[in-house]
Structure 1
Amino acid sequence: MDQFLTYFKVGFGHIISRDLGVDHILFIVALTIRYQFADWKKLLVLVTAFTIGHSITLALSVFNIVNYSIAWIEFLIPVTIVITALSNLFVKKFSFNTRFPLIYFFALFFGLIHGLGFSNYLKSMLGKDSSVVWELLAFNVGLEAGQLLIVLAMLIISFIFVNLFKCNRREFLLYISGGAFVVALLMALERVPH
């Protein structure tokens, strides 16, 4: 149980760390800023899709089934934020299409990329230990807890600005998405593989 708690804390710390997790925090912000508390079911499916994606590639990478260029993954992670922030420009009425939930597909697909980013960090911790399933599970649960904390913070911030301060919901969405877009674009430009 101590080892599970250790890796849970590492996963949780990785996602909420200002130094380690800023790109992942920005992605969660860009992904969830369009939702409010009333949309909790859609938001739960969305975050679960992202979690499934990053859990798959995290496991595949830790077990050395998938190999990849770290430089390309570090570049692609902010690109996923740029694309997600841009997609928020097309949200107008906040009535989300449930017939063809394209955002769920993108959350899953972008989760695959983010999982590869997490895996390098986790593999450096695990070393050559042959029994990593428990540690991998703990790390994923910690990541998920950190993500849910960020989602809750975004829901609270949205509630405060949209419901209490009466900010226009679309303008609030565009403002936050614009900030995420600019920061992510700068990160992507700094990380272009040579």
Structure 2
Amino acid sequence: MHPELPNPAARPAITGPIFAALLAAVAFAFPGEAFAHAVAEGDKGYIQEISGVHLMSFLYLGAKHMVTGYDHILFLLGVIFFLYRMKDIGIYVSLFAIGHSTTMLAGVYFNFGINSYIIDAIIGLSIVYKALDNMGAYQRWFGFQPDTKAATLIFGFCHGFGLSSKILDYEISPDGLLPNLLAFNVGVEIGQLLALGAILIAMGFWRRTPSFLKYAYTANVVMMAAGFLLAGYQITGYFLA
């Protein structure tokens, strides 16, 4: 799935400025709500107040959620980190989208949610899982490679439950529920394509430089640390809430 990386002992302890900035941003720059798989407070009020079919509004809300969903973006970054062919990228992103869409739509429509702190902690750990996979940890530790396609689909289910749990907390009106949810989901997929496009452009430039293989391992260490940070934040919230 991914190329052989340089010997960990020979790698610099500090990654390039892009990935150092990534961890610092996740740790310090974003407000508390950004750590959660949440909808912004202003959007929450709007969702609670309206009823009936509002396709464009929910389309916009879905796209906004995806583009500003740091957990989504980190997981997508991990998924495509060592994917070079568009066919492979399309397969993995489609699996993630199928998983995410299924549980988001089903969870809200059938009024089934999971504790937000627990599911968001699992989402944080999905980033940890993918970073370790990119580092070749499972082959070294256990002598086998987990099915990466199945893992992407399963974690897609988890990401979808994260959003459905939040929407249920906001008591969305049943009037126009299904078309609004479908519009929201279309917006999420549009946002995912926008985020993916930005990631692919950045990765395309980086892969052309000698620093890619030099810092690839360390970049995934930073991504893993961000995943642990997100998970730890949610676990702490669960016990303090």
TM-score by length of 2: 0.67
What's the counterpart of residue 92 of structure 2? 46
Pairing of 1:98-177 with structure 2 (within 5 A): 102-123=147-168, 127-163=172-208, 165-168=209-212, 170-177=213-220
For the residues of structure 2 that align with 1:179 and 1:152, how far apart are their CA atoms?
A: 22
Tell whether the 8 Å contact from 1:29 to 1:150 is kept in structure 2 after alignment. Answer: no
1:124 to partner: Cα distance: 5.0
Tell whether the 8 Å contact from 1:3 to 1:135 is kept in structure 2 after alignment. Answer: yes
CA RMSD across the alignment:
2.2
Deviations 1:69-116 (A, max 9, x none): 22211211101110011100129xxxxxxxx99211111100111001
Percent identity of equivalent pairs: 28
1:172 to partner: Cα distance: 4.3
Tell whether the 8 Å contact from 2:105 to 2:182 is kept in structure 1 after alignment. Answer: no
In the alignment, structure 2 segments of 5+ residues that lack a partner are 1-52, 138-144
Tell whether the 8 Å contact from 1:86 to 1:181 is kept in structure 2 after alignment. Answer: yes
In the alignment, structure 1 segments of 5+ residues that lack a partner are 92-99
For residue 186 of structure 1, the aligned residue among 203, 222, 229 is 229
Distance 1:180 1:130, change over 3 A: same
For the residues of structure 2 that align with 1:55 and 1:133, how far apart are their CA atoms?
A: 13
For the residues of structure 1 that align with 2:146 and 2:182, how far apart are their CA atoms?
A: 28
Distance 1:172 1:43, change over 3 A: farther
Tell whether the 8 Å contact from 1:35 to 1:155 is kept in structure 2 after alignment. Answer: no
Matching residue's letter, 1:56: T
For the residues of structure 2 that align with 1:174 and 1:142, how far apart are their CA atoms?
A: 33
Matching residue's letter, 1:103: T
TM-score by length of 1: 0.82
1:122 to partner: Cα distance: 3.2
Tell whether the 8 Å contact from 1:30 to 1:176 is kept in structure 2 after alignment. Answer: no
Matching residue's letter, 2:218: Y
3-state SS, counterpart of residue 114 of structure 1: helix
2:73 equivalent to 1:25? yes
Tell whether the 8 Å contact from 2:98 to 2:156 is kept in structure 1 after alignment. Answer: yes
Which stretch shows the higher mean deviation, 125-134 or 147-156?
A: 125-134
Distance 1:140 1:172, change over 3 A: farther
